[in-house]
Amino acid sequence: MDRKELLSWARYIVVPLVVMLFIRLFIVSPILVDGDSMQPTFNDGDVVIIAKRADVKRFDAIVFLHASADYLFIKRVVGMPGDTLMMRDDVLYINDVAYDEPYVFEAPFMTHQTADFTLQTIANVSVIPSGHYIVLGDYRLKSRDSRHFGLVRAEDVEGVVKWRVLHDWTAF
């Protein structure tokens, strides 16, 4: 094989690999869901695709790396910069407006335990500062979220979940 033919082959291998790497690093990336904290929306073993450059909106599911751990979290954004949050009788109030949360998993055995189940004072924040979010899991009784580790910094967000591509890939 001469040099010209070798370069030709390299172009067909290296260029697609560079393009794929660029897409994964800067545009979209697959993430494996690990744990039950986002049930019923996402289950342990699901594979989701995150958009790396998407704007975070209220109630989006996001993937982030929090300083309290060395692994990625997937949670739902309930508090945006400038918001005030309160939970009363398991109803979420954002800026004094009650919100229905149809995505929240309520196990058959669950009782309304406002002190344990719901948002209390998260990191002693009265108004969410600029560049931060408050996140909660959809399965509140099994979720480690802002109730435990406080605010999530915007710069720690890896991306916004856009698609679930595989449901429990371990079943294959």
What is the mean pLDDT of each successive set of 10 residues along the chain, which is 172 residues long?
84 89 90 94 94 96 91 96 87 92 76 48 74 94 88 96 79 53
pLDDT of residue 105: 86
Q: Which CATH architecture has domain 30-171?
A: Ribbon (2.10)
Number of Cβ atoms within 10 Å of the Cβ of 68: 10
Name beta bridge partners: 94: 85, 97
Reference 45, options 56, 58, 53, 36; nearest CA is 36
Beta strands in 57-172 (DSSP E): 61-65, 72-79, 85-88, 91-94, 97-99, 132-136, 152-153, 157-166
Q: How far apart are CA 11 and CA 23, in angstroms?
A: 18
* CA–CA dist 95, 92 (Å, integer): 10
pLDDT at position 70, please? 87
CB atoms closer than 10 angstroms to residue 63:
20
Q: What pLDDT score does 120 carry?
A: 53
Res 115: pLDDT: 39
Asked if 63 and 161 touch (Cβ cutoff 8 Å), the reply is yes
- Looking at residue 114, what is its pLDDT? 42
CA distance 116 to 100: 19
Tell me which residues are annotated as active site.
Answer: 37, 75
